[in-house]
Amino acid sequence: MRDVAIVGAGMVPFGKYQEKTLADIAWPAVKQAVEDAGIKKTDIEATYCGTALGGMMAGQRILKKLGITGLPIINIENACSSSSTAFREAWITVAAGVYDAVLVIGVEKLTKFGGGTLPLEKEDWEVSHGLVMPALYAMRARRYMHEYGLTENDIADVSVKARKHGVWNEDAQFRKEVTREEVLASRPVADPLKLFHCCPSGDGAAAVVICSAEKAKQYSASPIRVIGSEINSGKYMTGYRDMTSPEITLRGAKELYEEAGIGPEDVDLAEVHDAFAIAELLYYEALGFCAKGDAAKLLADGETSVGGKIPVNPSGGLLSKGHPIGSTGVAQIVEIVRQLRGQCGQRQVEGAKVGLTHCTGGGVSGFDHGVCSIHLFAR
Amino acid sequence: MSQELQEALNLAGDAVTTDSDGTVRLVGSECGDCNKNVFPPTAVCPECMSENLAPIKLSAEGKLYSWSVVHAAPKGWNLPFIAAYVDLPEEVRVFAHIVDVDPDSLEMEMPVVARIAALGTEESGAPFESYAFTPVQKGNS
């Protein structure tokens, strides 16, 4: 396998673009990534486009706007991990030597559903019985509170940190700080989770251009290397399972660190899948940033804020940046690229050399999550 | 019960049954080759892929693993409702609504018992009924 690097990154600010088509939301992100790479559009050999609910041929609909056509365009659905999966598949083709330069897109338009909880597949028996994503995370939260003494204040503080980081990110949907009291006073969604514990619904797109490491040098003075790529499906469990322990993330992180030959202590910052505030705490532990049961302390000590030992979601995370689900995986990667290049202004993690992205996708009964993809990057 | 739910549960009228004494029981599948129990009923064992499965009546009583009072859900559900996971002794975890209880009185691992309850409203306006659980009443278990 060849080394692979990212040479271009772009995204549009996440928000509500009800009046725009999916293609019109996405093409500026793609153009930005291509121009950032300084690559001729004719040198792009293939495109992988991740979207969960964007409909058929999303990649073709976007790329015809920019005249990037006549190449393989592969559309990928994998719930919230759609575009992290697309990135992984693109990485395989470049690493394997099939292509030298590949474009990866993540895109979603959730405003077309008119708000509310994410529409899930009704063939699933839990979904058809009323399960919604906030309820699933809420049950994880309640069990974790019971077993480890986590408090509602601790969970609220995840949102407070996320909103603080979001103020510094011009691509974030929410750019205003909130207090713990405001989080706790927001309307209940799925007890103990309140509205401000939940990522906002919205639209957005992100894109990156990847190359073989050798070819990357001709485009970028500071290519960002992909030093680990991991994807897994959850294990189907019909019986009892420990909902305080995200098995797919634990398993994936272990495999990824082994593959990359580094450990969690070597990671300088991470973008993790904080669709709901409780999730970020579970992932501190699953990704090895702290021991089981110590997540609230890691947060309270400021270690996961910008300026701490292991800043998590300096972009504001899904809680502030927003979560147009198919866009999220690539948008996380865009943040890591910009951080490792030192382009992040007030939210810059000083001296960052190694970054991690973590993206799950769920909503299928019997799984912790249906999918999880984790990547490691270095400058 | 809605058509959608019946299809999703693979019910065909036999995933929930009522004993002659009125006890509501969920019915799963038991694998004749590896003994794994699964709910809802299935035609193939997810452990060993055997198709040698037989219906198994699951215990009416289980323990509450976790729950949430849900205030936001698609149209049709009675809001708020209590979503929960209930662990049955046959090593099966079931997603269910908890009904007829003040949520503040719920406790981890408390015993709950199956029953039939109205959980929402069909598009036709008819009540939507399915299985649910409720805490076991003291002296009634």
- Residue ranges covered by each domain of chain B: 3-135
- Mean pLDDT score, A110-138: 88
CA distance A367 to A344: 36
CA distance B39 to A360: 25
pLDDT at B12: 42
Q: Across-strand partners of A64?
A: none
Q: Across-strand partners of A210?
A: A6, A102
Q: Which of A112-126, A165-179, B95-109, B116-130 is least confident?
A: A112-126
CA distance B26 to B131: 8
pLDDT at A221: 84
Nearest neighbour of B72 by CB, restricted to A127, A134, A239: A134
Strand ranges inside chain B, DSSP E: 16-18, 24-31, 37-38, 53-57, 61-70, 81-88, 92-98, 111-121, 127-135
**pTM for the full predicted model:** 0.95
The percentage of chain A sitting over the pLDDT mark of 90, rounded to a whole number, equals 92
Residues of B within 8 A of A142 (CB-CB) are: 66-68
Predicted confidence pLDDT, tens digits, chain B (141 residues): 455 555 555 444 578 999 999 999 999 999 999 999 999 999 999 999 999 999 999 999 999 999 999 999 888 899 999 999 999 999 999 999 999 999 999 999 999 999 999 999 888 888 888 899 999 987 644
Does A129 contact B87 at a Cβ distance shorter than 8 Å?
Answer: no
pLDDT at A307: 97
pLDDT at B28: 95
pLDDT at A119: 82
Nearest neighbour of A128 by CB, restricted to B8, B67, B80: B8
| Best residue of A129, A233, A365 to probe chain B, by most B CBs closer than 10 Å | A129
By the CB < 8 Å criterion, does A25 face chain B? no
Maximum C-alpha span of chain B: 44
Phi, psi of A285, rounded to the nearest 5 degrees: -75, -45
Higher pLDDT, A122 or A296: A296
CA distance A118 to A126: 14
Contact A355, A339 (CB under 8 A): yes
Phi, psi of B18, rounded to the nearest 5 degrees: -120, 120
DSSP B113: E
Q: How many other CB atoms sit within 10 Å of the CB of residue A71?
A: 15
Residue A172, classified by CB atoms within 10 Å of its CB into exposed (0-12), middle (13-18) or buried (19+), is buried
Dihedral sign, Cα of residue B41, residue B47, residue B50, residue B56: negative
Contact B37, B56 (CB under 8 A): yes
Q: Is the pLDDT of residue A206 over 70?
A: yes
pLDDT at B3: 58
Q: Is the pLDDT of residue A275 over 50?
A: yes
Element (H, E) at A220: none
pLDDT at B5: 54
By the CB < 8 Å criterion, does B67 face chain A? yes
Question: What domains are defined for chain A?
Answer: 4-111+202-223 (3.40.47.10), 127-199+228-378 (3.40.47.10)
Contact A127, A72 (CB under 8 A): no
Mean pLDDT of chain A: 96
SS3 A274: coil
pLDDT at A146: 97
pLDDT at A16: 97
Residues of A within 8 A of B69 (CB-CB) are: 188, 190-191
SS3 A306: coil
pLDDT at A9: 98
- Mean pLDDT score, A337-354: 98
By C-alpha distance, the chain B residue nearest A198 is: B72
Q: Which of A32-36, A359-363, A371-375 is least confident?
A: A359-363
Q: Is the pLDDT of residue A124 over 90?
A: no
Per-residue model confidence as pLDDT tens digits over A327-337: 999 999 999 99
Identity of residue A307: G
CA distance A64 to A153: 48
Does B66 contact A127 at a Cβ distance shorter than 8 Å?
Answer: no
Does B38 contact A238 at a Cβ distance shorter than 8 Å?
Answer: yes
B-contacting residues of A 116-155, CB under 8 Å? 116-117, 119, 122-132, 134-135, 138-140, 142-143, 146
